[in-house]
């Protein structure tokens, strides 16, 4: 072999265990990399850690062996029903169990699908807006003024207080007291020991609530905007937080002795988030608001009904006039639809309400009522979600698994008993022939294990020995006739 053109690998001075490193420009040839003493310290395991890992590996192997030794067959073999008539009933129970398991699994998948769909119910949220006035000039008419005083001010600062609260309109079986804005908040009937049913607070339906006062900013430069924003889910609650996290109503007080128009804006809080659609997309889907998943599903339904899928590449869509008007392309890839629709969705417009704050003597301070349609989760969905995450279900599965293991052990014992019975029954019917066959079978197995068997021909002749014994001398007679 010619080695004249073989170039040896570059070598560095020192040993792999030394701290001397090769030059940065040196290039390493093929071969295993040697770890230096300055390597990753997490790779240097102590002897105790190595022993612990070895013990864990041994335990895992032992558990795997135990699981492999566990019987899993729960089918009783044929022939047992001749001895035990109840085997037929056991098989009927097994068939019924299979049907029940399939039905329960199908229903569970249906429940999980219903929970993931997040179906909404729509109810009416009734808002009560009212205000009161205090220390107004017409309210201080009974207080006499000092005729000798230079300032004719009464010394009182006129103020007004605005209150906004909301209640969900109850169903037919709900308590009608929820309609009363002056009803006690969060307190149940003292004569009723049962706690009141939980209900959503007014603030949970909105992300933010703002009130803008329409008055002269030269006279009242501050306090014309009041805003509340829902805190983040993990935001800490403290004295500096912007009010309570949840409430049924709020109120604010400002100075003033004149009637003031105010605008109330409510930004809805939808879960999952809903968006306002562009005119083109709204016309295609026949809706003005929808979630992102609903938008994609609506486009998919439109594509499927109109047969716009490419026959060769099913994920490609051949756009018609309506889709070209939206996406400005002739063909599009279906996974791109969520990204392409981002330019056609906008945040929801806030719900705008107007109210006049009255401070004159002619005003009657009765609340102004507005009805707003809000979406709430289906109450059955919460029960279905609780069913899916119920710890009782896991406990039932563990109990069923234990019972199945016990049944498998009992069925294995039945199989062993049947094998013993077949053994002794066959021996009782023909003791000599059975012992002969049994000894021959054991001899063949022993020869196979010890490797003392001959070639394939000898094994075939041994297997067919009984056939040649039955034929006997007829074989020689046939051979002799053939020679004649």
% pLDDT > 90, the chain: 21
Q: Is the preceding omega at residue 150 within 30 degrees of 0, hence cis?
A: no
Do 136 and 259 belong to one domain? yes
Instruction: Indicate the pLDDT class of residue 211, thresholds 50, 70 and 90.
Output: very high
Exposed/middle/buried for 327, CB within 10 Å: 0-12, 13-18, 19+? buried
Contact present, 351 and 266 (Cβ < 8 Å): yes
Do 278 and 320 belong to one domain? yes
Residue 127 lies in a domain: yes
- pLDDT: is 474 or 168 the higher one? 168
CA–CA gap between residue 203 and residue 206 (Å, rounded): 6
Whether the per-residue pLDDT at 476 is higher than 80: the answer is no
Mean pLDDT of 438-464: 69
- pLDDT: is 459 or 91 the higher one? 91
Q: For position 172, what pLDDT does the model report?
A: 57
Whether the per-residue pLDDT at 183 is higher than 50: the answer is no
Mean pLDDT of 322-329: 91
Do 366 and 355 belong to one domain? yes
Do 204 and 337 belong to one domain? no
CATH number at residue 352: 2.60.40.1970
Residue 366 lies in a domain: yes
CATH number at residue 328: 1.10.245.10
Q: For position 6, what pLDDT does the model report?
A: 43
Contact present, 315 and 333 (Cβ < 8 Å): yes
Exposed/middle/buried for 277, CB within 10 Å: 0-12, 13-18, 19+? buried
CA–CA gap between residue 162 and residue 210 (Å, rounded): 13
Whether the per-residue pLDDT at 257 is higher than 50: the answer is yes
Q: For position 244, what pLDDT does the model report?
A: 63
Instruction: Indicate the pLDDT class of residue 392, thresholds 50, 70 and 90.
Output: confident
Residue 363 lies in a domain: yes
Do 218 and 138 belong to one domain? yes
Long-range contacts of 380-385 (CB under 8 A, 24+ apart): 381/114, 381/115, 381/118, 381/119, 384/111, 384/114, 384/115, 385/115
Do 260 and 365 belong to one domain? yes
- pLDDT: is 469 or 282 the higher one? 282
Q: For position 481, what pLDDT does the model report?
A: 65
Q: For position 87, what pLDDT does the model report?
A: 85
CA–CA gap between residue 280 and residue 311 (Å, rounded): 27
CA–CA gap between residue 252 and residue 163 (Å, rounded): 7
Question: Which of 469, 471, 404, 455 lies closest to 71, judged by CA?
Answer: 404
Residues 6+ positions from 367 with CB-CB distance below 8 Å: 128, 129, 130, 181
- pLDDT: is 326 or 24 the higher one? 326
Residue 90 lies in a domain: no
Question: Which of 209, 219, 326 lies closest to 268, judged by CA?
Answer: 209
Do 281 and 138 belong to one domain? no
Exposed/middle/buried for 164, CB within 10 Å: 0-12, 13-18, 19+? buried
What's the farthest any 2 CA atoms get from each other in the chain?
167
Weakest-pLDDT range from 174-178, 381-385, 392-396: 174-178
| Domain-terminating residue out of 296, 328, 346 | 346
Do 262 and 354 belong to one domain? yes
Whether the per-residue pLDDT at 256 is higher than 90: the answer is no
Domain count, the chain: 2
Mean pLDDT of 10-29: 43
Residue 253 lies in a domain: yes
Q: Beta partners for 368?
A: 129
The whole domain housing 286 covers 274-346
Instruction: Indicate the pLDDT class of residue 106, thresholds 50, 70 and 90.
Output: very high
Residue 85 lies in a domain: no
Q: For position 4, what pLDDT does the model report?
A: 43
Do 282 and 373 belong to one domain? no
Do 201 and 283 belong to one domain? no
Residue 317 exposure: Cα atoms within 13 Å on the Cβ side: 22
Tell me the average pLDDT of the chain. 76
Token pair listed for 366? 């009765």
Do 223 and 365 belong to one domain? yes
| Exposure b/e, 214-253, CB count within 10 A at least 16 = b | ebeeeeeeeebebebebeeeeeeeeeeeeeeeebbbbeee
Contact present, 211 and 351 (Cβ < 8 Å): no
Q: For position 144, what pLDDT does the model report?
A: 54
Choose the most confident range, by mean pLDDT, from 6-15, 361-370, 450-459.
361-370
Do 132 and 281 belong to one domain? no
């Amino acid at each position: 072999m010619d080695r004249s053109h073989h170039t040896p690998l570059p070598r560095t001075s020192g040993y792999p265990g030394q701290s001397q490193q090769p030059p940065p420009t040196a290039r390493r040839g093929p071969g295993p990399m040697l770890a230096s003493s300055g390597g990753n310290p997490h790779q240097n395991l102590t002897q105790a850690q190595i022993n612990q890992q070895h013990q864990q590996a041994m335990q895992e192997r032992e558990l795997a062996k135990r699981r492999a030794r566990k019987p899993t067959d729960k089918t009783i073999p044929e022939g047992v029903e001749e001895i035990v008539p109840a085997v037929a009933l056991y098989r009927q129970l097994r068939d019924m169990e299979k049907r029940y398991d399939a039905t329960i699994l199908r229903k569970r998948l249906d429940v999980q699908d219903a929970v993931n769909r997040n179906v909404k119910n729509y109810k009416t949220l009734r808002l009560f807006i009212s205000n009161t006035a205090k220390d107004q000039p017409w309210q201080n008419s009974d207080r006499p003024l000092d005729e000798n005083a230079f300032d004719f001010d009464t010394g009182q600062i006129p103020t007004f207080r605005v209150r906004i609260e909301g209640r969900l309109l109850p169903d037919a079986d709900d308590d009608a007291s929820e309609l009363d804005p002056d009803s006690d908040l969060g307190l149940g009937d003292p004569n009723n020991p049962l706690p009141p049913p939980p209900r959503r607070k007014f603030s949970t339906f909105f992300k933010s609530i703002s009130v803008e006062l329409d008055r002269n900013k030269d006279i009242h430069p501050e306090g014309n905007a009041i805003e509340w924003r829902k805190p983040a889910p993990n935001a800490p609650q403290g004295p500096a937080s912007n009010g309570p996290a949840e409430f049924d109503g709020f109120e604010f007080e400002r100075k003033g002795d004149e009637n003031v128009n105010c605008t109330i804006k409510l930004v809805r809080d939808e879960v999952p988030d809903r968006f306002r659609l562009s005119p083109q997309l709204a016309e295609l889907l026949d809706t003005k608001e929808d979630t992102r998943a609903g938008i994609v599903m609506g486009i998919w339904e439109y594509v499927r009904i109109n047969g716009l899928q490419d026959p060769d590449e099913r994920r490609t869509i051949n756009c018609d006039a309506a889709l070209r008007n939206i996406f400005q392309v002739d063909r599009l890839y279906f996974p791109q639809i969520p990204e392409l629709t981002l330019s056609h969705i906008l945040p929801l417009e806030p719900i705008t309400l107007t109210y006049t704050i009255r401070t004159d003597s002619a005003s009657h301070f009765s609340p102004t009522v507005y009805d707003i349609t809000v979406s709430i989760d289906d109450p059955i969905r919460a029960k279905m979600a609780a069913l899916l995450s119920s710890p009782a279900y896991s406990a039932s599965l563990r109990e069923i698994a234990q019972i199945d293991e016990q049944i498998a052990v009992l069925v294995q014992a039945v199989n062993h008993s049947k094998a013993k019975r077949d053994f002794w029954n066959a021996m009782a019917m023909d003791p000599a022939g059975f012992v002969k066959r049994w000894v021959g079978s054991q001899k063949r197995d022993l020869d196979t294990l010890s490797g003392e068997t001959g070639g394939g021909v000898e094994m075939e002749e041994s297997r067919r020995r009984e056939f040649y014994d039955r034929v006997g001398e007829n074989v020689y007679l046939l051979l002799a006739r053939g020679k004649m």
